Amino acid sequence: MTGGTGRLPAAVARASGARVLTGVTVTGLRRTGGVWRVTTPSGALAADAVVLGVPAHVAARLLAGPAPEAAEALGGVRHADTAVVALAFPPAVEALLPAGNGFLVPSVEGRAIKAATYLSRKWAWPDDGPRVVRASLGRAGGPDVLSLPDGELVAAALADLRAAAGPSRPARDPGHPLALRPPQYDTGHADRVARTRAAVAELPSLAVCGAAYEGVGVAACVASGLAAAARLP
């Protein structure tokens, strides 16, 4: 997609026809008089319905008052610091990459990267364009990758990619890594999600969605959002 997946949120906002507020922190959520009150530093907003599409720890904080059981369940979902490094290689590197669209690296391997995706295979790509590999670094319980300089993250990603697939030097400067904090699905996660949804379902016009529930990928999050919207009256 020309322009990258960063176009998706803007397209959704335009299609909704809604007023979109950015840079606004929600500090509280309560229901009074049959209406939801969403508190922000600049005042409260009234809403007929609320969908919380936020990280688990944020949802837990906001639900502590209206849905304490859901807040307790979500409070058990951990998040790990993750850095994503995109590397562009000459087209000739294609012959060195293993089959498929990428690979996962288990923690027992002791590698810095935990996954690699061959973006130029996963999406339509010009034959003479650079081959782009996206590497993810950081694990739950592992070292704090976000405290490392960008150069060290890139070097670590390159070293592990060379060991696994043999790519040589990038075709161009890979740029700055992107920092994320994805949720970690520990044992018992399905039960946490079930308890959260059951508690939220007892409240009118309230739903939750996002990466903390049934999947962290874009497709899983979109499906989660659609399901949340469908549960509202």
Q: Give the pLDDT confidence of 106-149 residue by residue, as tens digits.
A: 888 888 899 999 988 888 888 888 888 999 998 877 777 878 88
Parallel, antiparallel or unpaired: strands 50-52 and 206-208: parallel
- Return the structure tokens found at 46: 């009234």
Helix/strand number for the chain, H first, E second: 7, 12
d(CA 147, CA 133): 23
Q: What are phi and psi of 186, to 5 degrees?
A: -80, 170
* pLDDT the model gives residue 127: 84
197 to 97, 138, 203, 212: CA distances (angstroms):
42, 29, 10, 12
Q: Look at residues 71, 46, 56 and name the one whose alpha carbon lies nearest to residue 38.
A: 46
**Distance from chain centroid for Cα 124:** 23
- Quote the pTM value: 0.78
* 1 pLDDT above the threshold of 60: no
> According to CATH, where is 3.90.660.20 located in the chain?
81-180
How sure is the predictor about 6, in pLDDT bands with cuts at 50, 70 and 90?
confident
* 216 pLDDT above the threshold of 80: yes
Candidate CATH numbers 3.90.660.20, 3.30.1450.10, 3.40.50.1820, 3.40.50.1220; the one for domain 81-180: 3.90.660.20
Candidate CATH numbers 3.90.1150.10, 3.50.50.60, 3.30.1360.200, 3.10.270.10; the one for domain 7-77+184-231: 3.50.50.60
How sure is the predictor about 166, in pLDDT bands with cuts at 50, 70 and 90?
confident
